[in-house]
Amino acid sequence: MLAAIKAPFIDWSELLPFTVLTVGGVVVLLTGLVGTQRFRRAAVPLLSLLTLAGAAVTLLGNWNKPAVIVSGALKIDDLTVGLGLICLVGAFFAVILALRVDNEEGLGRGEFHTLLIFSVMGMLVLIAANDLVTLFIGIELLSIPLYVLCAGEIRRGRSLESGLKYLILGSVGSATLLYGLALLYGATGATSLTKIGTVLTSSGAPLHDSLFVAGMALIIAGFAFKASAAPFHQWTPDVYEGAPASITTFMATATKAAALGVLLRVLAGPLLPAINDWGPIVATISVLSILVGNFGALGQDSLKRMLAWSSVAQVGYLLAAVVVADQLGIQALVFYLVVYTFMTLAAFAVVIDNSREWEEGERMSGISGLGRRRPWLAGAMTVSMVALAGLPPTDGFTGKLNIIAALVDGDWTWLGFVVVFGSLVSLAYYLRVVAAMWMKEPSADAPTTRSRTPEITAVALIAALLTLGLGFAPSWPLDKATEIGQKSVSSPR
């Protein structure tokens, strides 16, 4: 009987990015167990950066080379490559932001970086998933390391609280998603996304099945939790504030790309025939996220909590692009995910750099007068705030303009007005940060010495320059996003 079992054919060249992350993660873990502390502090981050860079290079080699591998479990296409690179970039900068953090008394340096690498691999599996089983494996491989990383600073109560909240609420989100996947399988009789799409397109019978509708709603709810969209956002401010700053940065960028990428693959792929059912649901979540996120950020004194509420609103803008589910919508989503990554990196890098200098650095009072103390850092934060608000000449303006154009073209004009309204509300708290940096006097307790973390300052400046550069010259990323949009549409609208 064993002789009759045939193992699936595996194209190892297509699977190379996953192999690089797996081998690199194990090597990083073992390296963290040997040698002196000085050796580990240098070798572990270096190997982590090389692993992430190697995975990015091998993933980029799959551009314009679509393939379905491992018996249809994974789909490697331009959407996988584009969003996977965003996740790898987020992890790469998270390693740099954590360089001077001493994890020896909490998570060992090897464990910290290994968990980060395997979380990224979960994101790649999730984005590339072409089967319901693979999709759930990806979501768990993404989430479980993040639960531990959020609680990584075990001597700090807020970090432990952050990890515990994320674990409990994350488990609820995963259970909701799993229940939805089970109902979708029950309604269609298939786990392959390709076969599910074929069943819905050929017969259309499951579209009117209550089992199918319930499963679809639960799937959207599960992914909305992972993307921190309202009303599934309650965990976001507390987790963002309590988690280590580098992990917060990673979650704010990479996790959103993975969750929205797989949501797009499912809704704009096999479930596209049901757009009349899921479109209003996603549009409602988008509106709630925009309103709740922007109004929730208005009264925040903590910069990390303000950015957490802001991220809820930003997810609302991204979900508005998902609603369109055509070439323009996918293009707008991918482009905005790219620019949102750099905007967010710049903001969190400034907060991390300032908070390393003194305890009040994460609060509004701690950033007052930053333009006089650290003008380059204040400049990077200014660019980030202006871009997140969607003002020209930054890439944030171009990104939101594309989303609004896609909404108007897809007959969702009213949702475009909600995006504009949310952007107007966001000016109140984004420009408040800018005013505090340039128009207020520094606190008497504010440090006057130069930064002792030049690598974090460099991350802030690089991200800010890219934010400005993509605003003045958005052609290349827009062209690539357009290619992804053209190849990701399952059928014409």
Show pLDDT as tens, one digit a residue, over the chain (493 residues).
555 667 666 677 788 999 999 999 999 999 888 877 788 888 888 999 999 999 999 999 888 888 888 888 888 888 999 999 999 999 999 999 888 765 544 455 788 899 999 999 999 999 999 999 999 999 999 999 999 888 877 777 777 888 888 888 888 888 999 999 999 998 888 888 888 888 888 876 677 788 888 999 999 999 998 888 888 888 888 888 888 888 889 998 898 889 998 998 898 888 888 888 899 999 999 999 999 999 998 988 888 889 999 999 999 999 999 999 888 888 999 999 999 999 999 999 988 888 777 666 677 877 888 888 788 888 999 999 999 998 888 888 999 999 999 999 888 999 999 999 999 999 999 999 999 888 877 666 666 666 667 888 888 999 999 998 888 888 888 888 888 887 766 443 3
Domain ranges of the chain: 275-493
- C-alpha span between 26 and 31 (Å, rounded): 9
Helices and strands, counts by H and E, the chain? 21, 2
The C-alpha atoms of residue 108 and residue 309 are separated, in whole angstroms, by 31
Is 449 in a helix, a strand, or coil? coil
* DSSP of 34-78: SS-HHHHHHHHHHHHHHHHHHHHHHHHTTTT--EEETTTTEEESH
117 residue type, one letter: I
Please give the pLDDT value at position 103.
56
